[in-house]
Chain A
């Protein structure tokens, strides 16, 4: 079993839909990152969370430390949101462990 599990692995949505991507982890962490990787490979850091909830534009990230679970929500999805979304957890030694990613395709 991977230390970081994401679901779903693949997701297709229509423009405007509300999207949720889930991440569960099994180890103690100091923080959790949500990353976005575009087809060209470049990675953008969306959020770093250690508790509660953060919002940036149409993106919302939440984390429940007790349940070892985080969600990434995208409101009013758009084709430009199509990418791979990766959850990564940071341990106390600051090492990141990555989930396998969720491939999102938003269609018109």
Chain B
């Protein structure tokens, strides 16, 4: 099946720093990428949906100025957590789908720990 990679797989940073997470579709063109967050023992929660070349659509309650999403190409989307705080510590997962929009392929996730 299609492969989606994420980098880094885990990151530890100090409070106040910004962290960038990359999501790449390795063998297909991802017209749409989704960013999710998962807290321990909870469901995945959709943060935002991004279509290549256009601005991301954020879910209610997700601050777009804090979680910057860029989907500049058909194979790469980035999520930047700006001025990270301990409450941003979570597991961030991306998924990607191509044309036509059907199965979403999930990345392996990025575990973020903000000290």
Contacts and interface: CB of A to CB of B under 8 A. Distances in A.
B102 interface: yes
A44 B41 CA distance: 17
B106 A44 contact: yes
A99 B38 CA distance: 12
A99 B93 contact: no
Contacts, number: 46
A42 B102 CA distance: 20
A77 to B, nearest CB: 23
A100 B43 contact: yes
A32 B97 CA distance: 15
Interface in A41-82: 41-45, 48
A45 B43 contact: no
A48 B17 CA distance: 39
Contacts of B105: 45
Contacts of B1: 45
Interface extent on A, as a size class?
A: 10 to 19
B102 A48 contact: yes
Interface residues of B, number: 23
Interface string B22-62: 00000000001010001000111110010000000000000
Contacts of A88: 44
A86 interface: yes
Contact of B108 (A41, A45, A48): A41
A94 B106 CA distance: 15
Contacts of A44: 106
Top 4 A-B residue pairs of the complex, sorted by shortest distance between their CB atoms: A43-B106, A42-B108, A98-B43, A41-B109
Interface of B: 1, 32, 34, 38, 42-46, 49, 91, 93, 95, 97, 101-106, 108-109, 111
Interface of A: 31, 33, 35, 40-45, 48, 86, 88, 94-96, 98-101
15 contacts: A33-B103, A41-B38, A41-B108, A41-B111, A42-B106, A43-B93, A43-B95, A45-B1, A45-B105, A45-B106, A48-B102, A88-B44, A96-B34, A96-B104, A100-B42
